[in-house]
Structure 1
């Protein structure tokens, strides 16, 4: 996109339809894109309404896809997913709905595998330092502290 170019509402609408059809987008990303295109607030509102009405833009669908993807691919815990969704200005209702997409058995299994893998990677002889390093890693990735410490106490004796 040329930053000097100006777009008609129809041109911008077509571009944004393609932008949203390519992958799920949140409202904030689309609004930022329209602002970069130097669209006026009235045009932004009109395009946003069009995208939502024609189902190009759906906050709940975005949140669900985001939560599933970040959990499955990046192995993020619920805290990190919630933080990232809030950063994208997603509603609490959509966040709750997105977290229900994560199967609890898979969630606990993933935490177990991630913890075992990290324990094997950390080359620390002091058991307390080792626990802290593994815990820091898991907490940074958004796993709940009670689950992390429970798992560490189970796996590191």
Structure 2
């Protein structure tokens, strides 16, 4: 019993990846993984990626901006976490910087304050130090800057 993986012509793979990229913003890394998963040879992968770039199906700056807006608005991630996640996806420093400009400073602090205050109320811990630690860990994990976190925790929990 041989497992016969489906093979694709370059044209079939192009169409499939156009749809993949049109459905949702993708980064180069995701597209490459998808193509290698389709058993495409490196030369074909390069050809298809160039095609996707030329026809604007693949745009790293646009991906980074969409990623930042989405994760900030929905998951309430801070700048450290956003930067870390984009770096994991091999997004260039320039595109990371451009994407961070998508976040309005006032909105950033507003979201941070709301998140911290809401979480502080939800932590059921009598010991002040343990409560502070839980809130600090939660906010740092979400990627908020440590100076913001420590100031806010000290303001909220006395």
Same fold (TM over 0.5): yes
Which position in structure 2 is the counterpart of 1:119? 120
Map 1:28-107 to 2 at 5 A. 28-107=29-108
The CA distance in 1 between the partners of 2:140 and 2:78, in whole Å, is 8
What is the CA deviation profile of residues 26-70 of structure 1, one whole-angstrom value per residue up to 9, with x for unaligned ones? 000000000000101111110000000110000000000000000
Which position in structure 1 is the counterpart of 2:10? 9
The CA distance in 2 between the partners of 1:129 and 1:33, in whole Å, is 44
CA RMSD in angstroms, aligned pairs only: 1.2
Deviation at 1:3, TM superposition (A): 7.1
The CA distance in 2 between the partners of 1:135 and 1:17, in whole Å, is 43
Which TM-score applies when normalising by structure 1?
Answer: 0.96
Q: 1:3 to 1:69 in 2, by over 3 A?
A: farther
Deviation at 1:156, TM superposition (A): 2.0
What is the CA deviation profile of residues 107-146 of structure 1, one whole-angstrom value per residue up to 9, with x for unaligned ones? 1011101111111111112222211110000001111111
Which secondary structure does the structure 1 equivalent of 2:82 belong to? helix
The CA distance in 2 between the partners of 1:105 and 1:132, in whole Å, is 26
Q: 1:5 to 1:122 in 2, by over 3 A?
A: same
The CA distance in 2 between the partners of 1:121 and 1:108, in whole Å, is 20
What is the CA deviation profile of residues 70-128 of structure 1, one whole-angstrom value per residue up to 9, with x for unaligned ones? 00000011111111111111001000111110111111011101111111111112222
What 5-or-longer segments of structure 2 have no aligned partner? Answer: none
Which TM-score applies when normalising by structure 2?
Answer: 0.96
